[in-house]
Amino acid sequence: MTSFDEVADHYGDDSLLDTISNGVTRMGKTTGDLTIEDLAPVDEFHIGGAAATRAFLENLGVEARDHVLDVGCGLGGASRFAAATYGCHVTGIDLTREYVETGIELCRWLGFEDRVRLVHGNAMATDFANATFDKVFLLHVGMNIPDKVALAEEAWRVLRPGGVLGVYDVMRMAGGDLTFPVPWSTTPTTSFVATPGEYRSSLEEAGFMVVEERDRSAAAAQFFADLQGSTSQTEGPPPLGLHVVMGADAPDKVRNMIGHVLDGTLAPVEMIAQKLG
């Protein structure tokens, strides 16, 4: 089994759409009256949730005229957010087939079929033509990819001249072993957390110029508090939340991730880079 297969298996869940549908029913809603905000707790699978998505995409400078690529789109939450907020067209790609199939159905529920296209594929070797996109972004994707240079090179290839790449990943700030499981990996074999310096070097080697870098640890604090509350309350978790995509060991994954961010081993970091040439 390749590392890509292991990553897909880590996230895959054949019952995901049914679980989300049941959660919608428990909320007292139907698939016909859902909003993006209703689904945000389950389909914004990264530190900070929808608030972090908004801050990140504003920093990326997404505009209505843009065609945007969401690398590692998951269920397509950030793709739909970008389309709804900025009026742009978004293509999302993800390695996990169940995520893409579920995300396509969520787009139907919310009426985004004309602005958001989700495809199953490997972000390291996409079928997109050269210079297709104005903006490319990754939300908590690189932690599963060992070759950051190859990832950056593929983003560079599909970006138009002068295009912009945004990365929002969990990065390593100090040495030491990580405690598993974490949200992106159950074992060390599929976890490839890198330092900001390694990201910068990879981006520059691929032909990007890093124009901004932001450590988002402080902004994550309230999100952590809210997330811990939703996964540990005595009456059970909410109908929709990250426990739906993380599974039964969600509390362990969240606790380990928060512990490493709070002790300074890991940090959520944004980087904005422009394509040169």
pLDDT profile of the chain (277 residues), mean per 10? 52 78 90 90 83 94 98 96 97 95 96 97 95 97 96 98 97 96 94 98 98 91 69 64 78 90 94 93
> Which pLDDT score is estimated for 221?
74
pLDDT at position 140, please? 95
Could you say which DSSP state residue 129 is in? P
Return the CA Rg of the chain: 18
Query: Residues 105, 106, 111, 117: is their CA dihedral positive or negative?
Result: negative
Tokens of 192: 């490839």
- Domain-by-domain residue ranges, the chain? 3-275
The number of beta carbons lying within 10 Å of the beta carbon of residue 146 is 12
Q: What is the pLDDT of residue 250?
A: 82
Question: Secondary structure of 22-90 in the HEC alphabet?
Answer: HHHHHCCCCCCCCCHHHHHHHHCCCCCHHHHHHHHHHHHCCCCCCEEEEECCCCCHHHHHHHHHHCCEE
pLDDT of residue 222: 76
Q: Give the whole-angstrom CA distance, residue 274 versus residue 169.
A: 17
pLDDT at 1: 39
> In this structure, are residues 132 and 182 in contact, taking their beta carbons and an 8 Å threshold?
no
Overall fold of domain 3-275: Rossmann fold (3.40.50)
Give me the pLDDT at residue 234, please: 46
What's the CA angle centered on 8, arms 253 and 265, to 5 degrees? 35
